[in-house]
Structure 1
């Protein structure tokens, strides 16, 4: 995608270097800057601080962090030690472990001196595959948007509600739910996006609006609690959200607040689709509510907020009284019964084990 006319991806590596560069998402939308990750400690820090975020991008960043760890110490002991350290950076997004497991499997039996080179090859491949996968997801999902446009007699734009940020900066390029919107928009389908602010980190207000505005997609920012009201009044045609983990039974874990949108959509007969790559499916889990570890994040994400002051400086201000007790679960789980369908690079599936196995029969 382009920023001020320049094409970017969220993470890249000069083939002559063993470091990687990422877009620093903590500075958006007020400043666009990049950050070079020099070693595994930098990669872990970037994942923890959400310099990089979004399940697919976390996975690719973790793979490069693993490669840098093996560059510096390719010993047998570090093969597992580095894996564990990186995997602990963010517990909820399954893509991180998925990418690390692929890389470890391909380098474990190599001679130590050969591991780093092979690790960079795998990380580069995962990066390229993410771009290809998300492009395919976009095409699959855009068909759903077109069907709604046709069903409405091509009389008005398709109103889409989304939650959190699922665009190109959450992946390597394109994105998942936002990738669908970009493809529909680029294909000439009139769309309008309701963008949830997505408290407490405001990824919708800061990142999704920035992305959509840069791409020229019509959108309106709304507070997190407005979605149900809009659905009651017929102003939402479809909900498109991403996921950090989807169980084999179709339960979807996504940014906190997603479950409430799904409940409102069900009550108002609005189709609710979860958009994800196959790498986000956890085939070892069935009950998302009972089994998925939900990350509890820092209290200051809730008690404080960052923004631009009148003099143009970026400031952080307190919202709640000092000493206020805070609960800050970062994700929730939407049960499969509330999900209309799962949009993947292979097609659209029913939110069930049978539906997913219809697209991924090799997992049976």
Structure 2
């Protein structure tokens, strides 16, 4: 992923990888309106907190001062704080300054991912490490490299990675579709694991650390991330395995006191009762589909950002 940007500004428009088409094909979307961008965000063509931040910043440029469009963009996905954070940083600026500010957010994200990768790799002790992760936290979730998977890439480049155990991440299989795709391109050894097997494998002692990303980190250190993270945190605590969150400073939300104050997006039944358009449950089946969960801060070993290590 080092040579492919997930999202960028090209000739007056946003270009982004359509993540719904992976791993079958690598398709680039060209976004020229805010409505197109909101639709792409809601159907997860672009996803991952840092990438959503860049998308929000560039979307303000597309809005050209349309405050109603900016407000709709800001609210497109409520849990990930980076989207609203980036929109607020760029909104209100004149067009030329808005574009410069948005491109600075893009460039800062690239630099932050490099720094997080190095800081996270330095934090972990030992060689030939076996890492467990959930969802997708690589370059697809950012602009390049990634957060938690950026640490994995740095470990791999240093010759310290034995294997990645990637959870499939139901219901939309971001781990199966996206993380394994990135790991394969990286040349990193990996195996795919069903979500419910994660805590059991931790209990067996075959994992050296759990690395996850974050969509919002509350002021007290509670972490909202892809649903399934909390179960891994419980399993890691019982097994004595470090549970490490890797996320940029922009994900730390001082305005949210605790995890109880984080709005958790429910994406409806369709994603649960079918897989890629094929029904897996009887017609009319109802479902609960929280896209995220909250891991209490006392289960978090460390939070790694581009500038510090926080130990909640």
TM-score range for the pair, normalised by the shorter chain length: over 0.9
Cα deviation, residue 119, structure 1: 1.3
The match for 2:126 among 148, 158, 175 is: 148
Q: For residue 21 of structure 1, give the secondary structure of its aligned residue in structure 2.
A: strand
Q: Deviations over 1:233-256 (max 9, x none)?
A: 111110000000001110000001
Q: For residue 287 of structure 2, give the secondary structure of its aligned residue in structure 1.
A: coil
Q: For residue 226 of structure 1, give the secondary structure of its aligned residue in structure 2.
A: helix
Q: Partner of 1:331 in structure 2? A: 292
Q: For residue 284 of structure 1, give the secondary structure of its aligned residue in structure 2.
A: coil
Give the alignment of 1:306-317 within 5 angstroms: 306=276, 316-317=277-278
Alignment partner of 1:88 is 2:75: yes
Q: For residue 13 of structure 1, give the secondary structure of its aligned residue in structure 2.
A: strand
The match for 2:5 among 4, 9, 12 is: 9
Q: Deviations over 1:202-231 (max 9, x none)?
A: 000000000001110000001001111111
In structure 2, distance between residues paired with 1:141 and 1:39: 37
Q: Partner of 1:133 in structure 2? A: 112
The match for 1:101 among 88, 91, 101 is: 88
1:24–1:51 contact (8 Å) kept in structure 2: yes
In structure 1, distance between residues paired with 2:174 and 2:223: 19
TM-score relative to the length of structure 2: 0.98
Q: For residue 237 of structure 2, give the secondary structure of its aligned residue in structure 1.
A: helix
Alignment RMSD (CA, Å): 1.1
In structure 2, distance between residues paired with 1:298 and 1:118: 38
Cα deviation, residue 83, structure 1: 2.6
Q: Partner of 2:97 in structure 1? A: 118
2:138–2:147 contact (8 Å) kept in structure 1: yes
Q: For residue 60 of structure 1, give the secondary structure of its aligned residue in structure 2.
A: helix
2:303–2:310 contact (8 Å) kept in structure 1: yes
Structure 1: unaligned runs, 5 residues or longer:
108-114, 150-156, 307-315, 352-364
Give the alignment of 1:30-109 within 5 angstroms: 30-70=24-64, 74=65, 78=66, 80-104=67-91, 107=93
Q: Partner of 2:233 in structure 1? A: 262
1:340–1:350 contact (8 Å) kept in structure 2: yes
The match for 2:308 among 347, 356, 361 is: 347
2:130–2:161 contact (8 Å) kept in structure 1: no
The match for 1:253 among 204, 208, 224 is: 224
In structure 2, distance between residues paired with 1:103 and 1:142: 32
- Return the index of the structure with the highest Cα Rg: 1
Cα deviation, residue 101, structure 1: 1.1
